[in-house]
Structure 1
Amino acid sequence: MTTKILALGDALGNLAHFGLMLGQRFDSVDVPLLIEGLEFEAFIVDEGIRQ
């Protein structure tokens, strides 16, 4: 079993939102719930390991 850690931070690196999800679940299922209602000036993504 694997777990994905989702974290959103502000411009200063402070944690704004945090979530855990099943590793086998598609990001498109839980990420929209995590960012709903937020406004972004920039969006930085860590793609991790590409397979």
Structure 2
Amino acid sequence: MVVDEYGIPASGIVTSDTAADCSQAPLLMEDLEAEAFLADKAYDTNELLNMLKEADIAAVIPPVKSRKEQRTYSHKLYRARHVIENVFRALKRWRVFAPR
């Protein structure tokens, strides 16, 4: 799901529970105009990082521990990821979709 800085959903994709979230990120990035892309470690893929670099969007994604070269990211911006978490919490509360 893509949300703006106020937590207003802009777009999203519903997948099966076995689909990797990071595989859907390139589809969500189409026509995306943003300064930063905030995500958790599951989105730390070379493909996504290269796409963000080409689009001149800052990647605020903590690196997985298995990376040989640990890259830096903005811890201050990463703390703002609670905005998207709040959107999912609201959707679950109103039972728009089941978490399973």
The TM-score normalised by the length of structure 1 is 0.56
Aligned length: 42
Distance in 2 of aligned mates of 1:28 and 1:10: 19
Match of 2:2 among 8, 13, 16: 8
Distance in 2 of aligned mates of 1:28 and 1:11: 21
Amino acid at match of 1:34: L
Higher relative contact order (Cα pairs below 8 Å, separated by 6+ residues): 1
| Higher alpha-carbon Rg | 2
2:15 corresponds in structure 1 to: 21
Aligned-residue CA RMSD (Å): 2.1
Normalized per residue, which structure has more strand? 1
Question: Percent identity, aligned pairs only?
Answer: 33
Normalized per residue, which structure has more helix? 2
Contiguous gaps of at least 5 residues in structure 1: 1-6
